[in-house]
């Protein structure tokens, strides 16, 4: 139905239909980095990719990411469907890349779910769906990573970093900066994700210290 009004939706669906069902991971580890904007994901993922001689992928993948601005202006259900589809398209890239090298991913399913839950819920953290709710479960038909790391910084540091960027903010960056309750709901939603759960990493220290911590966790879980 969207395709008649949004030509890009048809293109996204065409890409989605070309993806094989039940993608299988290759022999190399698949490591996802999650976190709010300005927690250092871009810096850390690039450093880990270089250290492990891996492949760096992002969600949404480049084949559809140039349409983000189109879908970000659409009603929430359409916007979220775009990001959800992006994860399944990305899974095809992960399946292929993980046969050749370690795969490092800047955001994946947990981001889509956490932001959706936080947006659909108003109020405080205690107003979120209960911790055991199925909304926190990984989809059964989506390729699963070996490890998910959640980068966190304290709210004041995050705001400082956002302001220091001096770039045009996304709607969600602006919301995170202006609305502490929204930020809390997003972070708590991340923490409630299961199968796989997020392993939290304090990203406040120096880039070198954060990278050292991250590599130790990867070595432990993906030996």
Q: Are 105 and 33 in contact (CB under 8 A)?
A: yes
Point out which residues pair with 152 in neighbouring strands.
202
Q: Does residue 156 carry a pLDDT above 80? A: no
Q: Does residue 16 carry a pLDDT above 80? A: yes
Rounded mean pLDDT, 69-89:
91
Q: How would DSSP label each residue in 52-101?
A: HT-EEEESS-HHHHTTHHHHHTS-HHHHHHHHHHHHHHHHHHHHHHTTTS
How much of the chain exceeds pLDDT 70, in percent? 87
Task: Indicate if the alpha-carbon torsion angle 162, 203, 92, 190 is positive or negative.
Answer: negative
Point out which residues pair with 148 in neighbouring strands.
32
Domain 7-222: which CATH number of 3.40.50.300, 3.40.50.970, 3.40.50.1580, 1.20.1250.20: 3.40.50.300
At residue 134, the pLDDT reads 95
Q: Are 70 and 186 in contact (CB under 8 A)?
A: no
Structure tokens at 53: 């001689």
Rounded mean pLDDT, 175-200:
87
Q: Does residue 59 carry a pLDDT above 80? A: yes
**What's the whole-model pTM score?**
0.88
Q: Indicate the Cα dihedral angle 44, 50, 55, 60, nearest 10°.
A: 30
> What's the CA gap between 20 and 200, in Å, rounded?
32
């Amino acid at each position: 139905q969207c395709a008649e009004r949004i030509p890009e939706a048809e293109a996204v669906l065409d890409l989605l239909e070309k993806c094989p069902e039940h993608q299988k991971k290759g022999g190399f580890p698949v490591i996802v980095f999650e976190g709010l904007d300005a927690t250092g994901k871009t810096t850390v993922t690039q450093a880990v990719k270089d250290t492990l001689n891996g492949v760096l992928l992002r969600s949404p993948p480049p084949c559809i990411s140039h349409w983000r601005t189109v879908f970000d202006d659409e009603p929430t259900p359409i916007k979220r469907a775009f990001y959800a589809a992006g994860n399944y398209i990305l899974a095809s890239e992960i399946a292929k890349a993980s046969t050749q090298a370690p795969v490092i991913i800047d955001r994946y399913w947990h981001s889509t779910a956490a932001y959706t839950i936080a947006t659909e819920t108003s109020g405080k953290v205690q107003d979120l769906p209960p911790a055991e709710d199925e909304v926190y479960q990984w989809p059964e038909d989506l390729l699963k990573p070996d490890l998910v790391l959640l980068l966190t910084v304290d709210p004041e540091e995050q705001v400082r970093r956002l302001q220091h960027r001096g770039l045009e903010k996304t709607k969600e960056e602006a919301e995170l900066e202006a609305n502490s309750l929204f930020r809390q709901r997003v972070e708590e939603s991340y923490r409630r994700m299961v199968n796989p759960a997020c392993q939290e990493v304090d990203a406040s220290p120096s880039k070198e210290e954060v990278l050292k911590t991250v590599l130790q966790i990867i070595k432990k879980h993906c030996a």
